[in-house]
Amino acid sequence: MSKNTLFRKKSIASILAQVQTNEAEMGTATLNKHLKVRDLIAFGIAAIIGAGIFSTIGQASAQGGPAVIFLFLFTALASGFAAFAYAEFASMVPVAGSAYTYSYVAFGELIAWIIGWALIMEYAIGNITVAISWSDYLTDMLEQIHIQALGINGIHLPSWMQMDYLTASNGFEEASSFLKNGGILNQLEPTLVQARAAWLSAPKIGGLHLVLDIPALFIIVLITWLVYRGIKESRNASNAMVIIKLAVILLVIAVGVFYIDMNNWSPFAPNGVSGVLKGVSAVFFAYIGFDAISTTAEECENPQRDLPRGMMWAIIICTVLYILIALILTGIVPYDQLAVGEPLSFVFKQINMPQMTFIISVSAVVAMASVLLVFQMGQPRIWLSMSRDGLLPKRFSKIHPKYKTPSFATIVVGFVVAVPALFMNLTMVTDLCSIGTLFAFVLVCGGVLVLQNKPDVQRGSFRTPYVNAGYVLPFLFVGALIYFYVNNALFSYFNFKSGADFGQKVPSLIFWAFTVFLTVVSIPKKLSLIPSLGLLSCLYMMSEIPLQNWIYFGIWLLIGLLIYFTYSRKHSKLNAAQS
């Protein structure tokens, strides 16, 4: 096995020629080109504004206070730097593979496979959590429906129908143990009471308790059917959902601004920089999704022009909305009260406006559905590209002759998301999604740097503005050292109290080692500043994710490598060409 076969690359010209060949061979069975720049912006907003603005923004605000707006700005800048890299690649290689295809061009086949495998975490696994969250929001909304004329005082689904199997089973065991040891029922946590009730009331087949998250299954089936039917139908649904949730967010801002108490903004950063940065993983999770726009490249009327615009405008619009909402939340109630699951509903309950809480619940249901739509749309298109290259079976690149969508891949993604959502509650999936996405961002930014000075690379119409990183990175690095030294954190950071303490700091040590390397290399290589900052800022956010999730991510990549060496490497079209 030679290094050349593992890192064999595809040229941009060969990728574009392959797409044209596929279109010629398939005739009418190709992806439809229906998307304009406004549709791409809507897809970006649909993906970005979801759980972030309806849940995780509360925890981040509780940790950082009103100064959490700076974390949103930092995360927006990091995402913006990465978006420049995505935009440049999308302009060069306007095909459906996104970061997978870009890595194939810049780093070679093995890295391309790794990133394609990692993106399954972002799209497929992440959607399991989105579906479960949607189920929670739906049941909460139904319980708020009160129609006196019809005698409806809230619509209550059976508890076994709105909870996953593992949560109910584990909750029942914990509750039973508590009661067996002399505890009483009203001392149990509400979540354990609900889990116990779900387990006891669930219908049985033999000895099996049928505890299934039916609403989660319903939304996955509905969204998968919509994505299967065509890009035009997905576009229309996305645009409608974006209009609804933007209208509600603007309503929240317009109403909330009259209830702001300026005293709640003092102190502005109660827990300092460390408090603000505690929410980095949760806030970044709020930005995940803009990269999914690039998977629709082959369905854009003018991808080289519209994809860069769509990504940039989506990030800008969402950042402005996030900052305004954060200021509204921390202005209405003290920041330390915002560590709740539904912060928007919570603040309006505090000012006695229950009618707003129902409107927000409806919007949350719509918002989560739109996130699910974009992610369910993105994953099959990455598998489509991997299948075209021979790394996945040929069926994954099958295009439906009528609907012009990757039909088989779409159905498989539906099953991959639906089945676990019925039975599982993946509590760590937020961090796992974040680390997989950040890994993709790091490689895409790195890819731009790798191709930066190669004269034979076919360029697109968009190029990242060039600033010599060698003039900036050394000063930023020295400034960071001075800051840590002044705050007595430089030497104490390397004071490892135990082996476990060292292990927890390994991600940060990786970040600092790579920062030193990139700073030194940027001077002779004259690297571009924007992708360099994108790479470092995304790597920094990865370093803030606990070591445990790095280990799980590493295990996930090892499983992917096993599949690559047993199947994909042998079936690669580049392997056949070399043979």
Q: Look at residues 573, 439, 579 and name the one whose alpha carbon lies nearest to residue 9.
A: 573
Phi-psi region for residue 151, left (φ > 0), alpha (ψ -120 to 50) or beta? Answer: left
Task: Give the Å distances, CA to CA, from 298 to 46, 88, 379, 481.
Answer: 19, 16, 14, 45
Task: Give the Å distances, CA to CA, from 544 to 24, 275, 435, 491, 513.
Answer: 47, 13, 10, 19, 15
Task: Please report, as a single letter, which amino acid is at residue 308.
Answer: P
Confirm if 332 and 347 have CB atoms less than 8 A apart: yes
Confirm if 354 and 345 have CB atoms less than 8 A apart: no
* CB within 8 Å of 315: residues ≥ 6 apart: 44, 48, 76, 79, 80, 83, 287, 290
Give the pLDDT confidence score for residue 499 in this predicted structure: 66
Give the pLDDT confidence score for residue 430 in this predicted structure: 62
If one counts every other C-beta atom within 10 angstroms of the C-beta of residue 450, the result is 16
CA 241 to chain centre: 18
Confirm if 118 and 439 have CB atoms less than 8 A apart: yes
The dihedrals phi and psi of 300, each to the nearest 5 degrees, come to: -90, 145
142-150 long-range contacts, Cβ below 8 Å, gap at least 24? Answer: 144/357, 144/358, 144/361, 145/358
Torsion of CA 426, 177, 548, 7, to 10 degrees: -50
| Cα–Cα distance for residue pair 216/225, rounded to 1 Å | 14
Give the pLDDT confidence score for residue 155 in this predicted structure: 83
Tokens of 385: 């590209």
Peptide bond preceding 524 in cis form (omega within 30 of 0): no
Only one residue has tokens 């060069």, namely 92
Q: How many residues appear in the chain?
A: 579
* CB within 8 Å of 480: residues ≥ 6 apart: none
Give the pLDDT confidence score for residue 559 in this predicted structure: 93
| Cα–Cα distance for residue pair 174/49, rounded to 1 Å | 35
pTM for the whole thing? 0.83
Helix (H, G, I), strand (E, B) or coil at 212: coil
Task: Give the Å distances, CA to CA, from 111 to 106, 332, 435, 560, 568.
Answer: 9, 48, 16, 11, 13
Give the pLDDT confidence score for residue 311 in this predicted structure: 87
Give the pLDDT confidence score for residue 381 in this predicted structure: 87
Give the pLDDT confidence score for residue 25 in this predicted structure: 62
**Residue 394 CA neighbour count, 13 Å, CB half:** 3
Query: Which residues in the chain come in under a pLDDT of 50?
Result: none
Taking 3-state DSSP, the helix, strand and coil percentages for the chain, each rounded to the nearest 5, stand at 75, 0, 20
Question: Which string of DSSP letters, residue by residue, matches 459-527?
Answer: P-S--PPP-BGGGTHHHHHHHHHHHHHHTT-TTGGG---SHHHHHHHHHHHHHHHHHHHHHHHHHHHT-
Confirm if 364 and 54 have CB atoms less than 8 A apart: yes
* CB within 8 Å of 107: residues ≥ 6 apart: 7, 9, 443, 446, 447, 450
Task: Please report, as a single letter, which amino acid is at residue 380.
Answer: P
